[in-house]
Amino acid sequence: MVLSLLEYLWLLPLGFVAGVIGSMVGLGGGFVMVPVLTFFGFSSTLAASDSLFAAFSNSVASTVSYAKQKRISYSLGIKLALFAIPGTVLGAYISDDVSSQLFKLLFGAVLVSSGVYIYLRRKMEPREYNLSKQIVVLAVGASFFAGIISSLFGIGGGTVFVPLMVIAIGLSMKLAAPTSQFILMFVAASGMLVHSALGHPNYYEAGILSIGSFVGGLVGSRLSTRVDERKLRLFVIVVLGITAAKLIIDSLTSPS
């Protein structure tokens, strides 16, 4: 038992680093954790399901801190979360049918889109707040898609939720990233439950990742108002680019 726990201890700093970065950029920590886990030989389903536990833990910690800062739009967040939950169920079920090669290729594409989002983040300008029927239809479709990729890849879906809230709905960036973490609380919880029912996660690994991610979420949400965002953005984009390239190359060169 003790030896088993020691074997998993390296997951603690991984969860912490992923939690800090994910909380600060509003994406959750899955885009850091899942590639590292797959590089260490975890199956795609195991990596995604373990990551969702950490993403939930991170989102709880971030939400607590952001709530004290009064930076969460609760009514909008609950609506988008409800739209996303059916997608999380579908994402968990189809994860068993996605090959390792396809998972890496698709996840590489998700990381590229995350890098583009982070690069363009400061350029996103909110419009007048708008929840017309057309925007609601867009929000339903986008949230459902975000739920699928969140549960399938073990990430937060912030690359969909934040642009949706800022560009389409008109929420300020100051509120959008924290609200994205609030949404992730429900999305990750839903994905966790379905993945657990299907027997996907390793609870030792998920628990240690979650502890690190929870502490990282507390630290990241407090640092979000102090850190040089330009340097953080550049660092994360470079890491995402290198990781995406490695995943895509692996998917194309590994045996089927």
pLDDT at residue 207 in the model: 92
Kindly state the percentage of the chain with pLDDT values over 90: 32
In this model, does residue 2 exceed pLDDT 70?
no
Q: Half-sphere exposure (CA, 13 Å, Cβ side) for 98?
A: 23
> Out of 28-37, 46-55, 230-239, which region has the weakest mean confidence (pLDDT)?
230-239
In this model, does residue 3 exceed pLDDT 60?
no
pLDDT at residue 248 in the model: 87
35-50 pLDDT per residue, tens: 889 888 898 899 999 9
133-143 pLDDT per residue, tens: 888 898 999 99
Of 128 and 175, more confident: 175
CA distances (Å), 56 to each of 100, 140, 244, in order? 24, 22, 24
Residues 214 and 210: their CA atoms lie apart, in Å, by 6
pLDDT at residue 1 in the model: 43
In this model, does residue 157 exceed pLDDT 70?
yes
